[in-house]
Each structure stands twice: as structure tokens, then as C-alpha cells.
Structure 1
Amino acid sequence: MPVITTVATTSFEGQKPGTSGLRKKVRVFQQPHYLENFVQAIFDSIGDGTGKTIVVGGDGRFFNRTAIQVILKMAAANGYARALVGRGGILSTPAASCVIRKYQTFGGIILSASHNPGGPDEDFGIKYNIPAGGPAPEAVTEAIFARTQDIREYRIAEVGDVDLDQLGEQNLAGMMVQVFDPVADYAELMASLFDFAAIRALFAGGFRMKFDAMHAVTGPYATAILETALGAPAGTVMNGVPLEDFGHGHPDPNLVHAHDLVEALFGADAPDFGAASDGDGDRNMILGRDFYVTPSDSLAVLAANATLCPGYAQGLAGIARSMPTSAAADRVAAGLGIPCYETPTGWKFFGTLLDAGKATLCGEESFGTGSDHVREKDGLWAVLMWLNVLAARRQPVAEIVRDHWAKYGRNVYSRHDYEGIDTAAANGLMAHLRGLELKGQQLGGYGVAFNDDFAYTDPVDGSVSTKQGIRIVFDDGSRIVFRLSGTGTEGATLRVYIEQFQPDPALHHLDPQVALADLIKIARDVAEIEARTGRTEPTVIT
């Protein structure tokens, strides 16, 4: 008989899940009882798991396999009847949502620190996704955190490890563990949404692309779908083998960290299309030849062209975007006669809208785009939707976007990130901004219509979220937004978003840093960024 052990423990400080679960350095998670405490807190907070099924998998980063073995043994000890685990411990975040929903499980535990670096000295993360497939709402994460503060014991089965590389079923202390192909269910879902025949014809006609998997989780997915199912030439997928340290890279699909892809798309003999995804597969970057598509514009263009894709041929119920995301999607929604919802940052805020059928496409400016097919943002889905649009329109990426601007106007947009700044300084900067009364004042050449700290009341469940970002909105509709990101593990990341609507096509070609120069200066001055943080320039500009 398997031995189920109850282990005495004491609580740890700071096990509070952020917007995407608990993220810390690997060495923090490697402390005795640290991971176990948090996993038991999850099990204690989500309801009785006896006889139920849970999904487990992650992005393949360092400590992924070790953590999965612990979680499986604890799931068995907590009465779960079955666990579905991606082969090799691999399961992208959107694929996990797909599997949770398809097999109607009791949710899932996803191991990832998303776009953060991996390795023994880098980052690790863990989060619980609910049975609907999306991230746990605040009520659940607050309950988990509360439990971590008073936990005194956890339960674990004293048995050998599961063979994570062997497909099929294995018995673990009375719980059946099914190791499954992590790509198959997700690929089947993608084929139901997009015109794979049209995309295959696009590639057969000589269309060339590069997809940078950044040695992260989407490598196997992109290879199976793009190269095998859709006929893209071998080598279309770059850096396609998942590595525990992401090849010493930073798996964040932006213009800085996906530099090899950017060089290819802006170099001689560039391919027609470029894309990248992040550590756990939920983010995306889209490039055309000599052309970068902002995430805000990507959401708007996909929404405007959604009916070209079989899965969205019936039209959209609505669009949802995070508050810092540009209003480009709002203009498309107005043109289509459908609502556009403005939510706080965090995919969980889209979940109630998607479940209620109020929104079909969703997007965040932080390289996240998705739809109601799962309850997570989905990097490869966005790439496939772009490919479907390109196959239908037979125009270059740049031409499609410029046509879009000509029709709707351009929301010129940029994000400036100040990473790893002192937390106290960052909090002081935000407190300074909250204390300003700017309505009616002139900042540079801009009159201030209002400034506030964004609050959101969910139109479905009535829940209220406050302090979601400082907004300064000007008389002409231009905006500056300040937020502290919750995705890092050390210090604080200040994100500054700058936006201005430009209706004149003659000015659509301007570089955003040039077009927004006055607003960028206003943002730095009003927030006293240099004086308060010591930073004279952003770490990353996108």
C-alpha cells in the first residue's frame, strides 16, 4: 500500500499570487517545504478534489520536472483520481486551458514564469487555473494566499517518480497519471478555427516566414502545426527545442529579446512574415518585412478581419482590451457596431466576459492576444490567425496595417519599461502620481481633461478592482498611463504607456518615438522618473 505522509510545516512570508500566480527565484522554490506549502494551499482552497481530475504541466524551464513530481504525489495524497500531464512535463499555458476545457477537469496547475528567464539562478512560477480554463480569479488567489499564512501541514505520497516521457497511464499511489501528447488536442482546436487549406496554399506558393520559439514551450507546437500540418519549409521554426534555460536567452517576444528574428525581418532577403512566442506560449510578436506590428494594432487588425477565419465567420460578440492597450480596438468595435470592454491588466478579467458571451476577441498591449476558444491569451493562435488573414487577403503585412490605419486612423502608441527599479522608489512614484490634481492644467502643449487611478466594475459579476493604473487623459484624447507590473521577481517594473490618435494618413509613417516625443517628455517630467528612480532611459521600448 502506498504511504501517505502528513508533513508538519510552518508558513513562509510572501506567498501571495500575482496577476499570473506565484513567481520567485528558483532557489526560493527549492527551499524545503516552500513548493509543498503553496501546492497544499491550492488544494485546500479550491474544494475537495476527491475522485476528480487535474491537469499538470509547464513551460519546461529549470525545476519544472522536479515540481511536477511533487505536485503529482501531493495530488494523489489529496484524493485526486486522475492527473493529465504533458509528455516531458511540457504543456503551454493556452494548451493547458484547452485540455482543462476539453476534458472538463477540476482545473489545472501550470508551472511557468512566462516570459521571465529560466535556469538555476533565474525564475520559476506556479498558478492554478479554474475548471473554465482561465486563471484563478482574485477571490481564489486571495483564499490561497490566506491559506499559505496559516498552513501547518501538507500531505504527500511517499512513492517513486512518474516516467514523464512515456505516453500512457501509470498508477501513482492509487491515482491514475495519464502522460499525453501536449500538442495533439491544441492542434486539433487550431484546425477547427482556421482555414488550414488556404494557409497551406499560401506556403505552397512560396510565402516565407520565420517563427522564433525562443527555446521555449511553443517549439513543439509550432513545428507540428507550421512545418508538418501546414507545409512550411523545415527551418521555419527557429530555436524550436525547449531548453531549461531557454538557451541562455530571455523568452520575451519583443524587439529587444527576439533580436535574431528582428534582424531576419529587417535584413536583406527578409521573409514575408515573422512571429515569436514566449516562455509558456501565451504571448506573441508579429512582424512583416521591415515592419513591426504593435500588439494593440494586431488586436485591432485581427478583429477587423476576423470573419475571414472559419471559426469567426459568424462575427464577433464584442472585443475586450486591457486599459493600457491602445484604443485602436475601440474604433474597430464602433465600426462593427459591437461593444468594446476596457478591463484591468490580467487575463482573468477577460474570463467573465468570455464566459458570458460578451466578448470574442481579447488583447493586452503586453504581447497578449486571444479569443473565446480558450481562457488564456494564446501566442500561436494569434500567429495562425494572422496567417489566415494573409492567406485570404494576399497582401503584405505592412499593406494590411496601413490600409487599416487609412480606414480607422492610427493610434500611435509606445510602451517604456523601467525594469528592476527599487520597489520603494517605484511605490513612491505611484503615490506621487496619485496625489496630483491635473484637470484643467496645461502640460507642455496639452490640456489635461482628467487624471485618475483606474477602477473597474465587472459587468458580469459586479466585482470591483481598484488602483489598476494611473491615467492622464488630455483634451485631444491622448493618454499617458503608469503601472507597476506584477510579473517580475525582483524589484519593480514601471511601465509607461503613451498614446495619441492620428487621423491624417500623411503622418501615419512617423516613428512612434518621434510622433510621441512631446508626450514622452511630459510623462518623464510629471512622474519625476529620473529623480525618483535614477533612471535616465527605459530598459525596453516597444
Structure 2
Amino acid sequence: MQITTHATQPIDGQKPGTSGLRKKTEVFSQADYLQNYVQAIFDVIEPEGRTYVLGGDGRYFNDPAIATILRMAAANGVRKMIVGQSGLLSTPAASHLIRKYETDGGFILSASHNPGGPNGDFGLKFNIPSGGPAPEAVTNAIHARTLEITEYRTSRDEAPTVDQIGRYALGDMEVEVIDPVADYADLMETLFDFDGIRELIATGFTLRFDAMHAVTGPYAVEILERRLGAKSGSVVNGRPSPDFGGGHPDPNPVWARDLVGHMMDPDGPDFGAASDGDGDRNMIMGRGIYVTPSDSLAVIAANAHLAPGYAGGIKGIARSMPTSAAADRVARKLGVEAHETPTGWKFFGTLLDAGRATICGEESAGTGSNHVREKDGLWAVLMWLNIIAARNQTVQQIMDDHWAEYGRTYYSRHDYEEVDSDVASALMDDLRAALETLPGKSFAGLTVIEAEDFDYTDPVDGSQAKAQGIILRFEGGARAVLRLSGTGTAGATIRLYLENHEAPDGNLAQDPQKALERVAQAADEIAGIEARTGRDVPDVVT
């Protein structure tokens, strides 16, 4: 194998966010951009003689990126790359492969729930040997390396195609192309009562899973239709597409509106779900009801013992700070630890590794457990099906029982997308500067009792994360959280999270937006979102 060393220079903007580096596809595909970032990763992780997993969600630029990474891996002394057939691997499946085959980490090509295509987004993140996203110490080192890089190495040989399962050579490096679905599907069978779910489906129970033209299509067909017996066609939009069928692969009521239409029909399926671009997020619905991610986390935690893989109970529950406190109430009743972390699945890793959390979730439709070190959309779907089968109840009945026991935490997220970055940053900076002055003041009839910029100290390794989002707490238990998203690629996204808890003997049947109306008004009065952005309504409400 002949190796070429290319001279290069640093490229601005290669700082990873909460889930790796995400940029517009046209940025990632410009000369040396991907190569610089990949070489920076290799320079930090010292790859010689090691084995890695490689795959992505099939979005535009996935194939050439895989070929580039394979050629650079060979030139940097990697011993073996395990690649999903056709370059496909869902993010949770990649995490499982890293763990199952005890590799030294993995390269995951995805921009998650962001749109794809030539005018869409692309992303790359490195996962560590535990299967989870690289911690900030590693991503900071990668970013630092991008600022000083002067060369990258690549093989002159062509990378093997990865369309067929088999073993191939690229110089001294072995490339093993594997079935991207089988190992993951086998894992799911060890966690859930597939016999019970099959019996449920055999009684006439109907479901609809919208794969949104993303990577979970093949996984859902194999598991839901072939292994569990759902009728053919229960999985819709199941063929992965480079531009996600021209849609937006974010499983929420706005972008999965077709699923919502079917589920709100009185004659609709009994159960509905959707997943995102790389398969790590989920949306759960029953006939006539949408389950918020915060409620889904709480219900899963309260009922996890019904699934064989969790029959012994759970050790703890972890949630991201913007996620509602509904899961905390479950943790108190179960007598297990409840953890509040910054946004980003990587913050759950130490808790999972230390056995201090079993079930984790975040408000942006990510839910998972200690079976992998990523959130897992299909896992959440199967957990819900297991719960439904075990309890012999509808989704609505399960939610009604849960709220009757724990109360209902009304919750919503308002996204203001592609706001001018300077405007968004100034809004947050000014809000931080005013925090000490807010307690005791009233806005929209709600009195602030506490205002803080959330800082986090990891209880396992002592690492710290500062300024992770602003929390406004009001008398009566209402809360608003404001933060800038780390997953967008254009401008800034201001995310406003609203919650208001109603006790079990309170009004549990309100319209969520009505129940949160005063909280939203108070947050806007405090932060000046409309006045400063010119947006009188959010772009997305979930």
C-alpha cells in the first residue's frame, strides 16, 4: 500500500457540539474539510493496530465519506474496520457493535434528526470503547488538534466497496462488512418479551412505525414485521434515502404529521411510533394521544420491570436538565437515584458505567438504557410494546393510570430556529446578567423563586460543565428553561422548555399549550424573545 501525505492547514469551525461535528453538507464536502477532521481524530486517539466500527445513516455524502475514512484509517495504521453493509449503521447499533466486539471505538456518520441531501446537513462523531460519545476531554483535544494540523495521511489505493457482506483488504488493514441489523435485533430479543408482543399482535393489535426514509427502516422491518409478526406494511417510509425522501427526519408531531394524522383518526392503529435519521430518537403515540418524551421516559422507568431484561429492577434514572421532572417522581417512589445532567447523551455515560443509572432520557425524544451507550429509538418502541402487552392496556389507559398515580407534568418545547447568532447570544448573555435580580419579581402572574445558570459536576468522575442553560423556577412548581441548541448548522436555535405540574387530584385533561400559557408568557417577558428576535410564535412546537 502506498501512503500519501497531504499538506494542509487548519480550517475554522471544526469544534464538535453535543453530538460530534455537524455542518452543511457542502461544507463537509469541500476540499480537505473531512480529511482534516478525521486526521485530527486519529492524531488524538493513536489508532495504530486498533479496531474500529464505521457506519452512518445513509444520508447524502455517506458513501464518499466512508471511502475517505477507510483510506485514511489504513494510512494511519488501523488494523481492522468493521463496516455496516452499504455503509449503514444506526447509532445505537454502532454502539452495540463497539461493545459486543470490544473494539477501540467507532466513527458514526450522521447529523441525526437534521435534514439530508446536497443542501442538507452532515455530521461525524467519534465514540469511545464504551460505545458512548467521546467525552469533552476527547472532543476538546480533537478540536485543539484541528487548530494546528499541517498534514493528513491517506492511502493511494481505492477503498473496497461495502455493498456486500465479506472480508476485504486495504493494504495491511482488514475491512469486514457485516449485516447492520442482525446483531442489534438479536440484542433486542434478550431484553424484551418477544413472545408476549407476538401474542399481542396476533390478537389483532395494530401498529404503524414511520421510519421517515431513514436508517431504522431495515431494523424495524426485521424486528416488527419479521420477528414480531406485524403485518407487512406496518413499517412505512422504510427505505433509507440520501435526502430522507425530501423530508425532515425528526420524530415529532410537526415533521411526522402523517403519522399523527393516522393516529388521531378514530379508526387509526392501536400504536404508532417514529424514529429519526440515525435511529436514536423516537416518538410514541397511541390512538388519539401523543406521549411527550418526558412522559415516555417516566412511564418506561415506572414499568421497566415488566421487560425480562429489567426484571430485577433499575438502579437509577438520569434525565437531561431541560427534560421535565416527571421521571424524578418515579425515582422517588422506586427509591432509586435521580440524576439531572446537561443536554447531550455523553453525560449519561459515567452514570451508566458506574451502575448508578439504568434508564436515561432527554426531552428531544431520546430514550435508552444501559444496554448501549447511546439513546435508542427502536428500544423505546419495543419497551412500549412490552409494557402494553404486559399490562393489557391501551396507551391512553397507561397514561391515565400514570397521571392518576404521579400527577401530570404538562410540558412543551418551543424552538426558534435560525435566529441570528449574535442576537441569540446577546439574549442569553443579558439574561444571565439579570438572574440575580429576578427572584421575587412577578411576570404574567407568576413569581420567580429561583433563577440559575445550570452548572454540573459529574458525581462519578468529578468533571464539570458550566453554563448549560438557564432555569427559571416559579411559585407553584412551574419551570422554564432557555438554552441554545448545539445541533443546528445555520444561525442559532433558541429552545424554550416549559413545564407545569398538576397534582393527581388536579385537572389532568387540559390542553398542554393552554396549561403552559402563563409560563410561556412569563419566560418571554423575562427574556424578551419576541422583542429581540422578531418572532411572535415559535417555528416548531413539540
**Structure-1-length-normalised TM-score:** 0.99
Matched positions, count: 540
Tell me the distance in 2 between the aligned counterparts of 1:114 and 1:44.
Answer: 25
Q: Which amino acid aligns with 1:185?
A: D
Aligned-pair distance for 1:516? 1.1
Measured against aligned partners, the alpha-carbon deviations of 1:262-320 in whole angstroms (never above 9, x if no partner) come to 11001241000000000000000000001000000000001100100000000000000
* Residue 509 (str. 1) matches residue 525 (str. 2): no
Give the structure 2 partner of residue 94 of structure 1: 92
CA distance in 2, matches of 1:505, 1:245: 47
Q: Given residue 334 of structure 2, which amino acid in structure 1 is its aligned partner?
A: L
Question: Are residues 1:386 and 2:384 paired?
Answer: yes
The alpha carbon displacement at 1:430 in A equals 0.4
In structure 2, the partner of 1:70 is 68
Residues 303-342 of structure 1: pairs in structure 2 closer than 5 A:
303-342=301-340
One-letter amino acid of the counterpart of residue 26, structure 2: R
SS in 1 for 2:225: helix
Partner residue, 1:8: 7
Q: In the alignment, residue 38 of structure 1 is paired with which amino acid?
A: Y
* Structure 1 position 174, deviation (Å): 1.4
One-letter amino acid of the structure 2 residue matched with residue 494 of structure 1: I
Q: Which residue of 1 aligns with 2:187?
A: 189
Letter in 1 for 2:521: K
Contact 2:301/2:327, CA 8 A, preserved across alignment: yes
Shift of 1:478: 1.1
Asked whether the 8 Å contact 2:446–2:522 carries over to 1, the reply is no
Give the aligned residue type for 2:470. I
Q: Secondary structure at the match of 1:75?
A: helix
Deviation per CA, 1:8-50: give whole Å up to 9, x if none. 111100100000011111111111111000000001111x222
Query: In the alignment, what sits opposite 1:33?
Result: 32
What is the match of residue 414 of structure 2? 416
Three-state SS of the structure 2 residue aligned to 1:207 is coil
Q: Contact between 2:324 and 2:411, CA under 8 Å: does it hold in 1?
A: yes
Q: 1:362-511 to 2 correspondence within 5 Å? A: 362-436=360-434, 437-511=437-511
Superposition pairs of residues 103-502 of structure 1, within 5 angstroms: 103-436=101-434, 437-502=437-502
Q: Distance in 1 between matches of 2:29 and 2:95?
A: 27
- Structure 2 distance, partners of 1:156, 1:173, is 11
- Structure 1 gaps, min length 5: none
Distance 2:206 2:506 in 1: 30
Identity %: 64
Name the amino acid aligned to 1:40: Q
1:361-391 Cα offsets, whole Å, 9 max, x none, are 0000000000000000000000000000001
Q: Pick which of 400-409 and 502-511 moved more.
A: 502-511
1:313-342 Cα shifts (integer Å, max 9, x gaps) = 000000000000000000000000111000
Return 5+ residue gaps in structure 2 as ranges: none
**Do the aligned partners of 1:484 and 1:495 also contact (CA within 8 Å) in 2?**
yes
Segments of 4+ moved more than 4 angstroms: none
Matched residue SS, 1:23: strand
SS in structure 2 opposite 1:435?
Answer: helix
Q: CA deviation at 1:173?
A: 1.4
What letter is aligned with 2:512?
Answer: P
1:506 is displaced (CA, Å) by: 4.9
Does the CA contact (< 8 Å) of 2:406 and 2:504 recur in 1?
no
Aligned to 1:17: 16
Distance of 2:440 and 2:467 partners within structure 1 = 22
Secondary structure, in 3 states, of the residue corresponding to 1:269? Answer: coil
Shift of 1:444: 2.6
Give secondary structure in 1 for the equivalent of 2:147.
helix
Rounded Cα–Cα distance in structure 2 between residues aligned with 1:440 and 1:121: 48
| Shift in Å, 1:447 | 2.0
Alpha-carbon offset, residue 445 of structure 1: 2.2
**1:48-59 correspondence runs (5 A):** 48-59=46-57
User: How far apart, in 2, do the equivalents of 1:137 and 1:274 lie?
Assistant: 34
Question: Conserved in 1, the CA contact under 8 Å of 2:110 and 2:122?
Answer: yes
Scaled by the length of structure 2, the TM-score of the pair is 0.99
Structure 1 residue 51: Cα displacement = 1.5
How far apart in 1 are the matches of 2:536 and 2:413? 15
Asked if 2 retains the 8 angstrom alpha-carbon contact of 1:352 and 1:460, the reply is: yes
Q: Deviations over 1:335-354 (max 9, x none)?
A: 00111000000000000000
> Tell me, what secondary structure is at the counterpart of 1:415?
strand
Superposition RMSD in Å: 0.8
Cα deviation, residue 505, structure 1: 4.3
SS at match of 1:243: coil
Q: Deviations over 1:47-82 (max 9, x none)?
A: x22221110000000000000000001011110110
Residues 446 and 518 in structure 2, CA contact (< 8 A), matched pair in contact too: no
1:150-187: CA deviation from partner (whole Å, max 9, x where unpaired): 00001101111312111010001110000000001100
> What amino acid is the match of 1:536?
D
Q: Distance in 1 between matches of 2:422 and 2:280?
A: 30
Indicate conservation of the 8 Å contact 2:457/2:464, yes or no: yes
Question: Are 2:293 and 2:362, in contact at CA under 8 Å, matched by a contact in 1?
Answer: yes
Does the 8 Å CA contact 2:111/2:124 hold for their aligned counterparts? yes
8 Å contact 1:405–1:505 — kept in the other structure?
no
Task: Tell me if structure 2 keeps the 8 A contact 1:282–1:379.
Answer: yes
CA distance in 2, matches of 1:97, 1:210: 26
CA contact (8 A) 1:455 1:465 kept: yes
Letter in 2 for 1:532: R
Matched to 2:310, the amino acid is Y
**SS of 1:115 mapped into structure 2:** coil
Letter in 1 for 2:12: E
Give, as a single letter, the amino acid of the residue that structure 1 aligns with 2:32: H
Contact 1:199-1:230 within 8 A present in 2 as well: yes
Which residue identity is paired with 1:272?
A: D
- Give the AA of the match of 1:514: K
Secondary structure at 1:486 match in 2: coil
